[in-house]
């Protein structure tokens, strides 16, 4: 990663606002340090002060940064701006799950889902608007890739949700399992992860962060070498042929290549790769699949997370009956594989896996966003952090 200020390019087109001011929250700490020295002619340590205001205190204006001189604050406000996500609507599920729909600077929308579960409070984060990977079962995939999220748009999700929580409550886990393929937006993901991990920023432990990927092999290796976060790989099929049918990325990186990469990853001690396996009724939910899965994962520090398919009106796919899921899980257990079943959360507000994105993107052209707002009891001012 370069440590100088980012260049204006098509990929980075939203890094500067209409007045040409830099989105300062899209910089990593090393980039911010280089920027204050090179662009402002300040001492390097100033960057750390600004950084803490941005990410520890959640400052909305440079004026709040009271340990900087008035001149310094005015100077900053002339050349940079502080990015915040606008909550368009916040939906609450009967099971306590909250779905945040964020409106972005270009009018696009993206979602985060906050899932309370015992003493855990997990935020499911998005990395792109839409997704280019085209997995046949996934509604986010139907959108295609609309655009990558900037680092600020990624790291602001936990910051802003965190700011809204009651005193003493904190998000405990971050999972990159919302809209998009995180490793397809690699550089921005790594910058945002750095912000999530930094002691002087969001300060999450790497043990509490999971990046879920369709399996972009070179990027998976690179992430494994760059940061010690948890990795989850979406497998979803127990053989090459079937995976080819539902996950087009398999054409580029075969199942074998993906698994060999996972086998060779130098994982930090105690870490295992989670293999996500979405279960489709009468399709990949039989014992012969379970048997193949055990063979495939042989020699990999693995655990399996079974995800019963979340049904939706756009697909004929069905989730398997409970007993079939249990039999599958039992088989994996009997062969010594750690295996959990993911409970669907937030189904009533379309917040469950694979339900994100599409409805909202369409809603912008239709009339029912107003209805959703009313249902959510949405009040623009109280929903703002």
Q: Does 143 bind ligand SF4 (CB under 6 A)?
A: no
Q: Does 214 bind ligand SF4 (CB under 6 A)?
A: yes
Shortest Å, Cβ 317 to ligand SAH: 7
Of these partners, ligand SAH, ligand SF4, none, which one is at the site of residue 276 (CB under 5 to 8 Å by kind)?
ligand SAH
Q: According to CB under 6 A, which one of 29, 53, 80, 141 is a site residue for ligand SF4?
A: 141
Q: According to CB under 6 A, which one of 90, 104, 113, 135 is a site residue for ligand SF4?
A: 135
Residue 306: is it exposed, middle or buried by C-beta count within 10 angstroms (0-12/13-18/19+)? buried
β-strand pairing of 273-279 with 98-103? unpaired
Residues 63-102 that bind ligand SAH (CB under 6 A): none
Q: Is 216 left (phi over 0), alpha (psi -120 to 50) or beta?
A: beta
Q: In 325-355, which positions are buried (b, 16+ CB within 10 angstroms) versus exposed (e)?
A: beebbebbeeeebebebbebbbbebbbbbbb
What is d(CA 281, CA 84) in angstroms, rounded to the nearest whole number?
42
Instruction: State the CB neighbour count (10 A cutoff) for residue 373.
Output: 18
Shortest Å, Cβ 133 to ligand SF4: 4
What is d(CA 274, CA 306) in angstroms, rounded to the nearest whole number?
10
The CA R_g of the chain, rounded to the nearest whole Å, is 21
The yes-or-no answer on residue 124 being catalytic is no
Residue 14 or 237 with smaller CB distance to ligand SAH: 237
For residue 58, which of 39, 92, 83, 76 has the smallest C-alpha distance?
83
Shortest Å, Cβ 183 to ligand SF4: 9
Of these partners, ligand SF4, ligand SAH, none, which one is at the site of residue 357 (CB under 5 to 8 Å by kind)?
none
What is d(CA 248, CA 261) in angstroms, rounded to the nearest whole number?
18
Q: According to CB under 6 A, which one of 152, 160, 188, 213 is a site residue for ligand SAH?
A: 213
Q: Does 181 bind ligand SF4 (CB under 6 A)?
A: yes
Residue 72 or 247 with smaller CB distance to ligand SF4: 247
Instruction: State the CB neighbour count (10 A cutoff) for residue 49.
Output: 16
The yes-or-no answer on residue 138 being catalytic is no
Contacts of 367 (CB under 8 A, 6+ apart): none
Active-site residue, selected from the candidate residues 31, 111, 181, 276: 111
Q: x/- string (CB under 6 A) for ligand SAH, residues 352-371? A: -xx-----------------
What distance lies between CA 205 and its chain's CA centroid? 16
Q: Does 220 bind ligand SF4 (CB under 6 A)?
A: no
The CA distances from residue 229 to 91, 208, 237, 273, 315, in Å, are 29, 8, 24, 10, 33
Q: Does 146 bind ligand SF4 (CB under 6 A)?
A: no
CB 53 within 8 A of CB 64: yes
Q: x/- string (CB under 6 A) for ligand SAH, residues 272-301? A: ----x-x-----------------------
- Return residues touching ligand SF4 (CB under 6 A): 131, 133-135, 138, 140-141, 180-181, 214, 234
Residues with a known catalytic role:
111, 353
Chain residues binding ligand SAH by CB under 6 A are: 137-138, 177, 181, 212-214, 234, 236, 276, 278, 307, 309-310, 353-354
């Amino acid at each position: 990663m370069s440590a100088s200020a980012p260049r204006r390019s098509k990929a980075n087109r939203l890094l500067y606002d209409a007045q040409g001011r830099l989105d300062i929250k899209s910089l990593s700490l090393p980039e911010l340090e280089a920027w204050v020295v090179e662009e402002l002619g300040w001492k390097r340590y100033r960057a750390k002060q600004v950084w803490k205001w941005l990410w520890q205190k959640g400052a909305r204006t440079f004026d709040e940064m009271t340990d900087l001189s008035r001149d310094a604050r005015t100077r900053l406000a002339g050349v940079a701006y502080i990015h915040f996500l606008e909550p368009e609507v916040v939906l609450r599920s009967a099971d306590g799950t909250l779905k945040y729909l964020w409106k972005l600077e270009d009018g696009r929308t993206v979602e985060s889902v906050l899932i309370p579960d015992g003493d855990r409070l997990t935020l499911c984060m998005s990395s792109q608007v839409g997704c280019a990977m085209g997995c046949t079962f996934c509604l986010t995939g139907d959108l295609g890739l609309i655009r990558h999220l900037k680092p600020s748009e990624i790291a602001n999700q936990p910051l802003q949700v965190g700011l809204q929580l009651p005193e003493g409550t904190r998000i405990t886990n971050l999972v990159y399992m919302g809209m998009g393929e995180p490793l397809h937006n690699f550089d921005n993901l790594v910058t945002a992860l750095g912000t999530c991990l930094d002691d002087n920023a969001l300060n999450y432990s790497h043990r509490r962060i999971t990046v879920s990927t369709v399996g972009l092999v070179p990027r998976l290796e690179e992430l494994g070498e760059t940061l010690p976060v948890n990795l989850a790989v979406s497998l979803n099929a127990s053989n090459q042929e079937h995976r080819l049918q539902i996950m087009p990325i398999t054409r580029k990186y075969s199942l074998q290549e993906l698994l060999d990469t996972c086998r060779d990853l130098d994982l930090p001690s105690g870490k295992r790769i989670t293999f996500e396996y979405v279960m489709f009724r009468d399709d990949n939910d039989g014992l012969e699949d379970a048997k193949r899965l055990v063979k495939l994962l042989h020699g990999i520090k693995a655990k399996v997370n079974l995800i019963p398919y979340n049904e939706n009106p756009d697909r004929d796919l069905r989730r398997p009956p409970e007993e079939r899921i249990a039999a599958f899980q039992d088989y994996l257990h009997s062969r010594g594989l750690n295996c959990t079943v993911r409970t669907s959360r937030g189904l009533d507000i379309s917040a469950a896996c694979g339900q994100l994105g599409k409805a909202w993107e369409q809603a912008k052209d239709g009339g029912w966003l107003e209805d959703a707002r009313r249902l959510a009891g949405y009040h623009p001012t109280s929903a703002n952090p």
